[in-house]
Amino acid sequence: MNLSSTIKSIQDIMRKDDGVDGDAQRLGQLTWMLFLKVFDQREQEWEDDAKERGKKYKSPLHPEHRWRNWAAYVPDKDGKKAPQKSPSDIIGFVTNDLFPALKELDADLSLQHKVIRDLFKEQNNYMKSGTLLLAVIEKLEEAIHFDDFTERLQLGDVYEQLLNDLRGAGNAGEFYTPRAITQFMVERVAPNLAAKEHVLDPACGTGGFLTAAIDHFRAQRKSPKDEHTLQSLIRGIEKKQLPHLLCSTNMLLHGIDVPSQIEHTNTLNKGWNAWTADEKVECLITNPPFGGYEDNVAGSDYPAAVRTRETADMFMALIIKKLLKEEGRAAVVLPDGFLFGDGIKGTLKEMLLRDCKLHTIIRLPKGVFAPYTTIKTNLLFFTKGATVDDEDGDHFHTDTIWFYEHPYPPGYKSYSKTKPIQIEEFAPIKAWWGNEADNFAAREAYDADPEITEKRAWKYDFRTAREQAVAAAKPHWDKAEHFRASAGLQRRQAKYLSDSLTGRRNDSALLQYLEEQLADLNEDFNKADAEGQAYLSVLIAELQSAIERESAQQAIALLESSASRLRETADGLDLQARDAQAAGDRIYWPIYNLDRKNPYAAEEETHDPDVLLEKYKTLLGQIEETENQLKSELAAALAHHFMAEVAEE
């Protein structure tokens, strides 16, 4: 029986157990058993290695808690393999002896103790039937051995099957990235073992990117010392318990002896300012969960401009600002919604293009992540730029963004669970890729080659687009700034006039006080610059008019009316400022729409309901935007008209 069939058989056995409720518990049960089985196999390897070196390996587990001494089937007196514990004893042993011991290991004794304790502190044994538990163990004993590399690779297939099953255990599809994607992204980022470049996945799930990075490092080994170096270069963070345990098991399978670098925590719960420079890495590769939202606590101290609860957006803010070293390289899976999104997504893209060199976006077709989602996704590759003295924020590290449209293989209309994307499909992209060191000169040659009639790659000249947009938007922004400054000036003048009356409305000496104020203003006027004189001249005129009234009450009425008029004028100027700002923004922000289509490809007619629905939603959004723009401009026009009438009165 192959591994895949074994896992299905084990799940069928567990379904008969009254204590195991649903896929999540079945997978949790199977995963901790797999971990102990794998750990015992690795311990056998460590014992053999220690023996060869004339040393003795010491297990972090007490002898009776090692898989070989309670779970493994051993030959009986007739030579037939049999369980070491009876059905009536094994449940009590696991629940009352094994689990308490694993959860209470002394974490201070070694990293191994700490890793196992942390992995099991939230695990539980759900099975109630000793007979069924022994049946599961028997299946694992029969099918899972790691004496050769081929069988270890086969367990990768088992993991993929488990992950496919996870979609029935809640919203867990975020854990799985197809192996072809993980391998391709790691190859393009190309972490360097000799340079001791660390690799981080801050949403590592079951460790697909990390295992691909391990394989990539191993191909670079030149001495036994390199293996020791490799062990320290892999780092992952996973929020959820089950994928964290799967990832730790995966690390053991891939030769990471003590997977202590796989943290079980929520990356997004860490305070913005709690991240330190020491935590930044040279290489970051991840597929952050998208479409989900964090609770109100996570991200509450993020900078206001990028404060959001949308998970993928929060990860992008962290990657750009907190996780990637200068000159560090990143590859991130993101949905189309990030490319065309505005608001905070627009701000994040501005930050990305300013702080990093976003050089490549691979546009994947629908179905790559089936059956979890049919949303179209993209692979973004970027390098963190060096810090520059840029007080005005005008320096952007991104000049040109290259796109490549990955097609379906011939005969495919979509990918599926049985027809996943394959690494061989990326061969044309690898051939096109070029070298970042020469600014991808080979891509320019591809773009200019007239003999390539069906071009899959194209470029977006972001630098030129930004310069043109800023030049066109700046007059509107300057006008907005002028209106805001004028509004602020008039509010200050209104406040001065109102403050002149505070506590003095019934004061018989009010007019005398106003005369003293007027004298002070005239004195200040003679010392002020042109801007100050413009501000003071209005106050002088208003106070002079008030003093000339026949009574204090008339002076009060005049000053109150003047203050009210100044505030109304300021409100109108604010409205004009908002409209001018919006006019400039409408020119500027569209440059951050990275949902760029292939200009060399004719738009195909489609009857795909998902595509048609998306187009319909886009059209509705454009209509709504136009309506809001018209309403805003009409309101501004009416406000200006009303202000003019008030001024005439």
Residue 511's pLDDT is what?
A: 87
- 213 in a domain, yes or no? yes
* Inter-residue contact 420 to 371 (CB < 8 Å): no
For residues 91 and 193, membership in a common domain is answered with no
Residue type at 261?
Q
- 134 in a domain, yes or no? yes
For residues 227 and 362, membership in a common domain is answered with yes
d(CA 191, CA 324): 13
For residues 550 and 648, membership in a common domain is answered with no
* Angle, CA of 637, 639 and 641, to the nearest 5°: 70
* Inter-residue contact 305 to 315 (CB < 8 Å): no
The three-state DSSP-derived secondary structure of 67-119 is HHHHCCCEECCCCCEECCCCHHHHHHHHHHHHHHHHHCCCCCCCHHHHHHHHH
For residues 241 and 313, membership in a common domain is answered with yes
pTM for the predicted model, two decimal places: 0.83
Q: 2 in helix, strand or coil?
A: coil
Structure-token match 């591994």, residue found: 3
Domain count, the chain: 4
d(CA 562, CA 493): 9
- 645 in a domain, yes or no? yes
* Inter-residue contact 368 to 185 (CB < 8 Å): no
- 155 in a domain, yes or no? no
The CATH number given to whatever domain includes residue 445 is: 3.40.50.150
- 599 in a domain, yes or no? no
For residues 396 and 527, membership in a common domain is answered with no
Residue 500's pLDDT is what?
A: 86
- 157 in a domain, yes or no? no
d(CA 35, CA 514): 85
Which range marks the domain in which residue 523 is found? 465-590
For residues 2 and 120, membership in a common domain is answered with yes
Q: What DSSP state is assigned to residue 286?
A: E
d(CA 177, CA 253): 18
H/E stretch holding 465 reads helix 462-501
d(CA 451, CA 430): 19
For residues 482 and 514, membership in a common domain is answered with yes
For residues 514 and 628, membership in a common domain is answered with no
* Inter-residue contact 288 to 332 (CB < 8 Å): yes
The CATH number given to whatever domain includes residue 82 is: 1.20.1260.30
Tell me how crowded residue 18 is: count the other CB atoms within 10 A of its CB: 10
- 162 in a domain, yes or no? no
For residues 571 and 618, membership in a common domain is answered with no
Where among 424, 452, 480 does a domain terminate?
A: 452
- 369 in a domain, yes or no? yes
DSSP 565-611: HHHHHHHHHHHHHHHHHHHHHHHHGGGG------TTSPPPP---HHH
Rg (CA), the chain: 34
d(CA 375, CA 506): 71
Residue 162's pLDDT is what?
A: 66
H/E stretch holding 403 reads strand 400-405
Q: 301 in helix, strand or coil?
A: coil
* Inter-residue contact 38 to 72 (CB < 8 Å): no
For residues 214 and 187, membership in a common domain is answered with yes
For residues 242 and 197, membership in a common domain is answered with yes
Residue 645's pLDDT is what?
A: 52
Where among 590, 618, 640 does a domain terminate?
A: 590
For residues 510 and 439, membership in a common domain is answered with no
pLDDT block averages, 10 residues each, the chain of length 649: 74 91 84 89 90 92 95 88 92 95 93 91 91 93 67 57 54 65 97 96 92 94 90 93 85 84 91 93 94 80 88 95 96 94 94 96 90 85 86 85 95 85 95 93 90 90 96 95 94 91 82 89 91 90 89 90 93 94 94 92 69 76 74 64 50
